[in-house]
Chain A
Amino acid sequence: MRSVHRGKLDAAAARLGASLALALLAAAIDGLAHRNLVVHLVGEHMALVATGIMAALSARRIPRLQWVQRSTGHCPTPVALAGLGAILIWHIPAVFGLAVAHPAFHGFMHLSHVAAGFALGSSVPALKPLVQALVLIGADGLMSIVGLGMIAGAMRYGDYPPAQVASAGAAMIVTMQALWLLLPLGYWLANNDIGGSTRNVGRTLDQE
């Protein structure tokens, strides 16, 4: 019963991920992203990372792709850190500016977001539960700093107007709280995949 439920959830995640990726490739959204940093930084990037995460979670059910899960399962911490690093590096204004200025570099940036999402989706479920929690909370805290810096006008991105950068910072903080913190928790729980042993659940120390 549970495996049927999980299979459906994974299939839904795969379809949603593919739809998101296709939607983002659409010229209208891509054009809007070039004009508006809120769409670019929050919508496109977060969605690309989410696409990667959903692809990785779905790949676990596809026999031909299960080697990916197995290989990342051996060393999940470096893979997760590499995924986080790949996302964070694009938030450095100079690096982002380069990507905006050069189309090929821009495409690489988008691909790297999907790859980072895939790395996170395939490695984080294999992390120890406490490390999972700290990765989620730590990334949330780090991105809050970036968002607060953008709101304050302390960071500039490409030729985007300062007001757009500030709004993108606010939107990023909201997105991080709503999506980053809650969605992974909800997905992993629905998959009964939130990690850790359940043998001690419900027992107090006095009962041991």
Chain B
Amino acid sequence: MVNDLRSRRITLVWLGTGAILLLALALLGLVMRVAQAVPGLISARVFYAMLTLHGSGMAGISLTIIAALFWYLMRRTLPLSPAVMQAAYGLTMTGALLLVLAAARGFGAGWTMLYPLPAMPGPVPAWDRWAAGLFIAGFALIIGAFALWSFDFLRAGVARYGSLGRMLGLDVLAGTTAPGAEPASPSVIAGAVVAVDGIATLLPGTVLATLMLANLVAPSFVVNPLLAKNLDFFAGHVLANVQIYIGAGVAYALLPLYTHRPWKTGKVLVAGWLVTLILVMLSAFHHLYQDFAEPVVVQIIGNIASYASAFPPIVVTIFAGVMLVHRSGMRWKVAPLFLYAGFAGWAIGGYAAIIDSSPALNQYLHNTLWVPAYFHTFMALSVVFFMLGGVYHVMPELTGRSLAEQLGKKAAALLLIGGWGLVGTWFLAGALGQPRRYTFYLAHVARLGWLGAGCVLIATLGMALIFGDVVRVVVSYVRTNDSPS
């Protein structure tokens, strides 16, 4: 009972702080969009520092927030540790603070920074070594928080199911589930895949951070640039992708509660997640297409793995999720609305990513706005939507108060219109050749820049409506000091 109260409090603090951070980072995005539409509004230095903070903050903070939400949903199934979540919160917030300090000191190498850029910002240095060091340390702390989560999830799952194999549902695949025993739920399987991939890529990520910090401290220590890039994209790719798998875990846990139909663990689902376990790492090779110095076989593996990685989510999660809702008579409350919209973002963003993972098309699209377009489609319009669906579901449990349904539906409409409008302008601008990471739009797509800025404004308004409602509920809960129901 005490542990449950503690779990609720930790989750509420996580979600409250997360809402503030995500809104602040979204506002940075709005400023950047306006700056792109109005060249000269802010300097290039400030723009790239904001771009870096926005990218690293969104990638890192959304990973830990959706992991925290998933942790809360899974705590009744697995003996998860509240102390670990408290430690993860401390690491994440310290990491976020370091990222802000790095941006304040001008660090603007991008969140997928390439060696030796952090130590060598250019002929007119835009940041000092301290700023680069703060950024790498801050990001490492956030990833460290996710590593803690992964270890705890694995520990709890093995303790509950007896082994990693059963946690992954292999007994279902082999037909050896003990009589009377329930196999791992789809949420547990998704979480197990995330934890395994998270821990496996933690090592390359740690090596990269160590090499980069060593280079900052002792510039005479030289790192092989291709090795640094390979480690960067191997770890970065997996850590970005697992967020959507945690989102799938959230959908597995919540959607059946609204459709009143179970999401069963079947052989196809288990096989799909096993394939995903491997392919998420191998598809990282599609980031190496443009590195002519690396072997062609890497491109072939990346291409095959990227194409193949599309099938498991489409079949076992998105299609199954649609079938779960179809003719279920589900009442379209805000929580399932966001979860369902999250499937759309995953499917469409994933399809656009597959297009970019075709080497011939990647030749044209790889450094254009097409890339941020698909990345934002499955981060903002899928991961964040899964997160919002989860928030609308758990808030009554956490505070004894519900978020306003009608306001939530209006906010959802604004987010859908603004969000899809924004990525739509990016897809179009990218296909028309607008480079990514430019501070301005090329003349022939300048109108798309304005349109994109307008769409961000609409989406930010939707986000602000939800944020305001969350604040209302939390303040009301704190003021009356009610115990959670």
Contacts and interface: CB of A to CB of B under 8 A. Distances in A.
Contact of A145 (B154, B171, B183, B203): B203
Contacts of B231: 145, 148
Contact of A144 (B77, B203, B227, B229): B203
Given A141-B202, A148-B230, A194-B163, A153 B180 contact: no
B163 A154 contact: no
16 contacts: A130-B155, A130-B158, A130-B159, A132-B163, A137-B196, A144-B204, A149-B227, A151-B294, A152-B230, A171-B297, A173-B282, A177-B278, A189-B165, A190-B176, A195-B163, A204-B76
B200 A202 contact: no
B182 A202 contact: yes
Nearest to A177: B278
B164 A133 contact: yes
B168 interface: yes
B329 interface: no
A173 B130 CA distance: 35
B417 to A, nearest CB: 40
Contact-size category for A? 35 or more
Contact-size category for B? 35 or more
Contact of B162 (A141, A149, A201): A201
A182 B227 CA distance: 27
A112 to B, nearest CB: 24
B170 interface: yes
B308 to A, nearest CB: 12
A200 B201 CA distance: 30
A177 B254 CA distance: 31
A96 B164 CA distance: 34
A3 to B, nearest CB: 14
Interface stretch (A18-26, A74-82, A162-170): A162-170
Nearest to A196: B162
A100 interface: no
A141 B203 contact: yes
Contacts of B155: 130
A194 B162 contact: yes
Contact of B181 (A149, A153, A198): A198
Contacts of A203: 182
Given A166-B295, A181-B277, A141 B204 contact: yes
Interface string A174-202: 10011001100110111010111110111
A43 to B, nearest CB: 15
Given A140-B200, A142-B203, A195-B162, A190 B174 contact: yes
A77 to B, nearest CB: 16
A154 B285 contact: no
Given A133-B154, A174-B282, A154 B77 contact: no
A29 B160 CA distance: 46
A170 B165 contact: no
A104 interface: no
Contacts of A188: 163, 165
Contacts of B166: 189, 194, 196, 198, 201
A68 to B, nearest CB: 23
A164 B67 CA distance: 40
A130 B154 contact: yes
B58 to A, nearest CB: 25
Contacts of A200: 159-162
A133 B162 CA distance: 11
A57 to B, nearest CB: 15
A28 interface: no
A129 B192 CA distance: 14
Given A177-B281, A182-B278, 13 more contacts: A133-B164, A141-B199, A141-B200, A144-B204, A144-B281, A149-B230, A151-B230, A152-B230, A167-B295, A186-B170, A200-B159, A202-B181, A204-B77
Given A141-B203, A185-B170, A132 B278 contact: no
A163 B295 contact: yes
Given A186-B170, A198-B181, A205 B162 contact: no
A156 B297 CA distance: 18
A195 B77 CA distance: 20
A86 interface: no
B77 A197 contact: no
B164 A132 contact: yes
B464 interface: no
B158 A189 contact: no
Contact of B170 (A153, A189, A206): A189
B451 interface: no
